[in-house]
Every structure is written in structure tokens, then in C-alpha cells.
Amino acid sequence: QSTGSSGINAEYGVTRPLTTTLRNMSTKVAVVLSGCGVYDGSEIHESSAVLTHLSRHGAQVHCFAPDKAQMHVVDHTAGSEMTESRNVLKESARIARGKISDLATLSDAEYDAVIIPGGFGAAKNLSSFATEGPSMSVDPTVSEKVKAFHAAGKPIGMCCIAPVIAAKLIPGVEVTVGSDVEGTEKWPYAGTAGAINAMGGKHIVTDVSQAHVDSNNKVVTTAAYMCETGVHEIHDGIGVMISEVLKLAK
């Protein structure tokens, strides 16, 4: 089931569904970050969109990140690797405005849903997809927490490259990274769809404005910056993902 931004309350553009914020005030959502910056951590616009939409819906949110060294550090002005070392938790704290905890302390019993934004940090720090493709491994703590939420029947939201983590951990899960047609400027990472299928997942083609809902596994995904498009479209697609995650959290 893939859903788009139609049916959204016009008073709030395309960021709030036709439900009241009050219904979500008791919903507690964990957001798992992977650093700060698209090339070596969490994608900042995606992370901000996740936090904005959760706030608009009235959800209670807390951020988490693994307390470990990043795979590497990238100069975002040049795209080149730097010699310094940075810590994933400390870098993620920049996005969380300091309100963040070690991922090891996250308990699925205390939260109703978990969200993992994209950015290369999801493929470098939360998993090894960036270097190993379908043969990737998932950080042990990330694996433990995602599996715990899944086993508890609690919804999991992921965007951009993060759905590869679900594909690796949840057999047969349906996820989207947008298009599966390689060689286009609009979808430069479309080859990821094949990797998802190779890991035992099922890739579903969607537009950037849509989210795909695997209702059996309670996994909701959206393409986000797997697509080269305007930041407002990324924001809108993530809004659909958040709305669907919160519906499943009821």
C-alpha cells in the first residue's frame, strides 16, 4: 500500500492529515540518528523534516544514536575524506539540540514507534551498506533495537537509504527507495532497489511524494533524497511517512 500527500489538511499545506493533534499527544516516538551531515551522518533536512512532522502531530519525541566512532569523516565542501575522527552520538547531538541518548539505552517497551532518517550515516555508521552492498552487516545495537520494535508489533519508519536496514533484518519486508530504473539524473541511487531484492526484501516503486506501508510488518518507508528534487518535496514525502507511522502506532 503506497500513500501520497492527497487528503491532507489544507490549513497546514501537506504536512498534517485530517486528524487532530490531540490523538497523538500520548504517542512516544524514538528517532535514531547516525551523525550530522549527508555524506557521513544523518541527512539534516530529512532529520529536521522528521522532527517537524512529529512535532506538528503532537508526538513525544526523543533522539538516540550509537555511541561509536563514525566510519569516516567527510569534508562536505569537497566530498573528500578527512583524517579526523568523530563520534556518532556527539555529532547527532547537533541535530537533537543536545537532547539525545545512547542507542543502547533505547527500550521498545517505552516507545510506540521508531524512525530512522537517511543520509550516508545509515549506510556507513548504522550498517555497512556503503562498502558491502547486499552483503552488508547491521550495527549490532541497531539490529537489536529494530528487531525488538518489529517483534513487539510497533511501527518502524525509514527514509532515503535507511530502508536497506529493514531489508537486511526483516525477511520479505516491503520497502521503497523510489525508482528502480538506473541511469537517470532524478534517481541516481536506483540501483539500491536491486540490492533490497537481493537481500530478501521486496522493493516497491513510488514517487518521492509517496510513502509505502507494509502493513504486515508495520514498516513505512519513503524515498526522500534518493531522489534529486526540491527540499519541499522531500519534506512532504516524509510527512506522509510520519502520518502513516502514527496511524499504525494507535
The three-class DSSP label of residue 237 is helix
CA distance 246 to 23: 10
Instruction: Dig out the grid coordinates for 33 from the structure.
Output: 540518528
Burial of 48 (0-12, 13-18, 19+ CB in 10 A): middle
Q: Concatenate the DSSP letters of all residues of 99-134 into one string.
A: -EEEGGG--GGG-SEEEE--SHHHHHTSBSHHHHGG
Burial of 111 (0-12, 13-18, 19+ CB in 10 A): buried
Q: Choosing from 36, 63, 159, 160, which is the catalytic residue?
A: 160
160 is a catalytic site residue: yes
Angle of helix 44-56 versus helix 231-248 axis, rounded to 10: 50
The three-class DSSP label of residue 69 is strand
Tally DSSP H helices, then E strands, for the chain. 8, 12
Angle of helix 88-95 versus helix 44-56 axis, rounded to 10: 50
| Strand stretches in the chain, DSSP E | 2-3, 28-32, 60-65, 73-75, 80-82, 100-102, 113-116, 156-159, 174-178, 202-205, 211-214, 219-222
Which positions are catalytic?
160
